[in-house]
Amino acid sequence: MRTSECDVVVVGVGGQGVILISEIIGRAAMMAGLSVRGVETHGMAQRGGSVINHIRVGCSFSAMISLGSADVLLAMEPAEALRYAHYLSPEGVALVNTRPVLPVTVTTGEASYPPIEEILAPLRAVSSEVKAMDASGLATKAGSPQATNVVMLGALSTHLPIEEATLLSALSETVPARFLEINRKAFELGKIEVE
């Protein structure tokens, strides 16, 4: 039997605002009366390293999502999408920001960053539904590149068992009031992008 209504693995790079996504979904799930679990990366890995957060909506077990079980892989960065692709269920959806964040191994020339298509192709072999978008570009369009995480949240919104209105009120409770307009726009652009 299924042990969670919706399992989302959020991956990215330390500093990309991955924890905020978990914060908003958690709040919204509670407003909707659903049990919710999450687990996040703190400490050493946060320093520009690769980070993975788990969010389980409608779940009352542990916060850990099993490999091959995630309904959604929400990737703030393309290389990280592929690094954690084995978390995806074969029926799962991958939502991928195509804007790379170069690791120090690339900037120093020890390693190279592959073309986006070379990342997306093996991802498509794991999941039948890969939606790639320039979330960072959309966030800039909404008013601030800092809102990339909220663009991704907007893209995720149609896959969550939570009403959009609930997510939006959780968003307004979480982000500072002066950035709310930008964030609402970012959410909308992300949502439209995957529709």
Partner 1 sequence: MREYLLGNVAIAKGILEAGAGVVSGYPGTPSSEIVDYLAPLAKEQGIHVEWSVNEKVAMEVAIGASWTGTRSVVTMKHVGLNVAADPFMTLAYLGVGGGMVVISADDPYCHSSQNEQDSRRYAQFARVPCLDPADPQEARDMTVRAFALSEKFGLPVMLRPTTRVSHARADVEVGPPTKRMDSPRFEKNPPRRVALPVHARPLHAELLDKQAGIEAALAEEPWNRAEMKSEVGVIASGISGLYAEEAIARMEADVSLLRIGTYPIPRRIVGDFLERVERVLVVEEMDPVVEEFVEMVAKERNPDVEILGKRSGAIPGVGELDPLSVQDAIAGMMDLPKRAAPKMSPEVLSILPPRPPALCPGCSHRATYYAMRKAFGKDAIYPNDIGCYTMGVGMGTVDTCLCMGASITVGAGIRFGGEEKPICAVLGDSTFLHSGLTGLLNAAYNGAKMTVTILDNSITAMTGHQPHPGTGCTACGETSPALSLEDICRSLGAGFVETADPYDLESMIDVFERARDHPGLSVVVAKRPCVISEIRSGVRRPRFKVDEEKCGGCKLCVKFGCPAIEFDGKVAKINALCSGCGVCAQICPEKAIEVVK
Nearer to partner 1 by Cβ, of 84 and 187: the residue is 84
By beta-carbon proximity to partner 1, the closer residue of 46 and 169 is 46
Sorted by sequence, the CB contacts under 8 Å of residue 97 that are 6+ apart come out as: 75, 76, 77, 78, 133, 134, 135, 136, 148, 151, 152
Closest approach, Cβ 195 to partner 1, in A, equals 28
Name the site residues for partner 1 (rule: CB under 8 A).
Answer: 1-3, 13-14, 22-23, 26-27, 29-30, 35-50, 61-64, 66-69, 79-80, 82-83, 85-86, 102-109, 111-114, 118-119, 122, 126
Assess contact for 10 and 72: CB atoms under 8 A. Answer: no
Which residue matches tokens 């949502």? 191
Cβ at position 138, least distance to partner 1 in Å: 18
Beta carbon of residue 65, minimum distance to partner 1 (angstroms, whole number): 8
CB closer to partner 1, 175 vs 188: 175
- Of 103 and 190, nearer to partner 1 (C-beta) is 103
Q: Are 7 and 70 in contact (CB under 8 A)?
A: yes
Least distance (Å) between residue 144 CB and partner 1: 13
Would you state the torsion angle of the CA atoms of residues 114, 116, 121, 127, taken in this order, to the nearest 10 degrees? 120
Tokens of 183: 């964030």
| Shortest CB 192 distance to partner 1, Å | 27
Q: How far apart, in Å, are the Cα atoms of 155 and each of 44, 47, 60?
A: 29, 26, 25
Nearer of residues 2 and 131 to partner 1, judged by Cβ: 2
